[in-house]
Amino acid sequence: MKVLYAVSEARPFAASGGLADVAGSLPQALRKRLVGCRVVMPLYASVPEELRQNMKFITHISVPVSWRSQYCGIFEARHGGVIYYLLDNQYYFKRDNYYSYYDDAERFAFFARAVLEIIPHIGFVPDIIHCNDWQTALTPVYHSCFYANKEGYSHIKTIFTIHNIQYQGVFGREILHDVLGLGDEHYSLLEYDGAINLMKGGIECAHMVTTVSPTYAKEILDPWYSHGLDSILLQRAWKIKGILNGIDTDYYNPETDPDIPANYSCLSPENKALNKAALQKEMGLPEKEDTPLIGIVSRLVGHKGFDLVKAILEGVLQNEDVQLAVLGSGEWQYESFFKEMHEKHPEKVGVFIGFNPSLAKRVYAGSDLFLMPSKSEPCGLAQMVALRYGTVPIVRATGGLKDSVFEGEEGNGFVFEGYNPEELLKAIDRALRLYEDKKSWRNLRQRAFDSDYSWGKSANEYIKIYKEVIKMY
């Protein structure tokens, strides 16, 4: 079985979030299970020079973008046993950022079409093209409209994964002909609420649609979570499946992690205390071994649940012996709130506004508890990383948080259901009370360590879906 994994970013070449983590890990896990998986992505200007030096130029082709014919250079690279194809067009991709440009529709229409056009030139004819998020949603559309009956393409099936339904690729109707190169007969595939919706087109045309957790696959059928696409998804519910993402357990490994002060493992967790002391010092907090330290690594935005945190944190800090280590950036109101909490409670709140990957790992390693009170969370990787480092999550039961964190005698964390400050406060209180019982705390921490969210199980589930799609069509 051969899979071409089409994605707008992938570690180590380009990364802005969790999508790149998935694209950098899942193909490796598939290859370990004897699936021929290769990755195709844009060649951005920001790809590091040390990675460019090991790229091999294959050829260049012309890619149709409506009435235009655009240059596409094909470069090949190898990383972690996986072959990557990086597609070069400096007009589209030699820019400071990956997204949020006025011509994003044209940029990713080019990329989506190029994914199909390069196949005769790379010596790799896939059985499955696995597309991810709105940036590649046009690949199933183009395949269905222009390639499905062409020699060399008719056997190819497409799978479309929704990583976050909030970002759908919505543009004006006027791009249909001049930018996307599609006719009026194709308008119904992409039209939603009077606009062109690229994600809707991917959902309509892909042979199978997946999401990044089983719970999220159910949630997006509800208007509360669907960002307007629930009616389309309900009509296509028969082809939607949820598979929980995994994490790279080599990159996130407290036993070998070079970014933390002291390595430790689930079998020898003693050095975790050294990481706690180092984190307290780094964040300007008093070094108190017996004071529970709650970590936060997140974008500081409303849907991550920080309105709930804002409602209860002052009371928690006044009434509890607890510390908070916050790493993140986002909306001004939440950045300002945590800065204010630090100024009012410098002995209890340490804040770093911005993002620092190595500091993030020190927060995972040094914290006792990890807070994720999200309003919605398609999968979430931070709670899995925290578990890997023996740090106990406090989460709301949504999306992948619900599928990976469980409370109870055999649980690995603390979970609250309702999206309100009172339930969050009760969950934090349960965590702080159990922390005082050292034997129960050690047992809970060990269950956190024992949680396995490596890519193996997830890769096996994707392989089942690949085989199912090949058999169905």
SS3 3: strand
Residues 251-277: tens digit of each pLDDT: 999 999 999 999 999 999 999 999 999
Cis peptide before 120 (omega within 30 of 0): no
pLDDT band at 319 (very low <50, low <70, confident <90, very high): very high
Q: Does residue 18 surpass a pLDDT of 90?
A: no
- Which whole number is the average pLDDT over 99-127? 97
Q: Counting beta carbons within 10 angstroms of the beta carbon of residue 193, is it exposed (0 to 12), middle (13 to 18) or buried (19 or more)? A: exposed
Q: What pLDDT shows up at residue 103?
A: 97
Percentage of the chain surpassing pLDDT 70?
100
What confidence category does residue 473 fall into, taking pLDDT thresholds of 50, 70 and 90? confident
Q: What is the pLDDT of residues 414-438, one digit of tens each?
A: 999 999 999 999 999 999 999 999 9
Residue 19 identity:
L
How would residue 11 be classed by pLDDT, with cut points 50, 70 and 90? very high
Q: Decide if pLDDT at 296 tops 90.
A: yes
Q: How far apart are CA 139 and CA 134, in angstroms?
A: 10
Fold agreement (2-246+456-472, 269-452):
yes
Under DSSP, the state recorded for 238 is: G
Question: Rounded to whole angstroms, how far apart are CA atoms 274 and 103?
Answer: 50
- Segments in 136-210 forming alpha helices (H): 138-142, 175-178, 187-190, 198-205
Q: Does residue 195 surpass a pLDDT of 90?
A: yes
CA Rg value for the chain: 23
Integer Cα distance of 374 and 303 in angstroms: 6
Instruction: Supply the pLDDT for residue 83.
Output: 98
355 pLDDT tier (thresholds 50, 70, 90): confident
User: What is the reported pLDDT for 17?
Assistant: 82
Q: What would the mean pLDDT of 144-165 be, rounded to a whole number?
A: 96
pLDDT for res 148: 94
- Looking at the chain, the whole-number percentage of residues with pLDDT higher than 90 is 98
Q: Considering the entire predicted model, what is its pTM?
A: 0.93
Please state the three-class secondary structure of 60-89 as a single string: EEEEEECCEEEEEEEEEEEECCEEEEEEEC
Residue 459 has what pLDDT?
96
Tell me which residue of 451, 466, 462 sits closest to 28, measured CA to CA: 462
Mean pLDDT for 239-261 is 96
Tokens describing residue 304: 């991550």
- The 10s digit of each residue's pLDDT in 166-191 is 999 999 999 999 999 999 999 999 99
Residue 416 pairs in a beta bridge with: 396
Chain center to CA of 202: 19
pLDDT digits (tens, 9 = 90+) for 46-82: 999 999 999 999 999 999 999 999 999 999 999 999 9
Please tell me whether residue 394 adopts helix, strand or coil conformation. strand
Confidence of residue 293 (pLDDT cuts 50, 70, 90): very high
Q: Does residue 403 register a pLDDT over 80? A: yes
Q: Given a cut of 80, is residue 294 above it in pLDDT?
A: yes
**Which residues fall within 8 angstroms of residue 34, CB to CB, at 6 or more apart?**
none
Residue 143 contacts residue 109 (beta carbons within 8 Å):
no
pLDDT of residue 5: 98
- Using the predicted structure, report yes or no on whether residue 448 has a pLDDT greater than 80: yes
Altogether, the residues listed in the chain come to a count of 473
Average of per-residue pLDDT across 327-337 = 97
Q: What are the residue ranges spanned by the domains of the chain?
A: 2-246+456-472, 269-452
pLDDT in tens, 132-148: 999 999 999 999 999 99
Mean pLDDT confidence for 98-119: 97
Cα 102 to chain centroid distance, Å, stands at 24
Provide the pLDDT for residue 132. 98
> Is the CATH code 3.40.50.2000 the one for domain 269-452?
yes
Indicate if the pLDDT at residue 31 is higher than 80.
yes
Among the four given CATH numbers 1.10.357.10, 3.60.10.10, 3.40.50.2000, 3.40.50.300, the one describing domain 2-246+456-472? 3.40.50.2000
Positive/negative CA dihedral, 17, 255, 39, 400: negative
Give yes or no for residue 160 having a pLDDT over 90. Answer: yes
Distance of CA 396 to the CA centre of its chain: 18
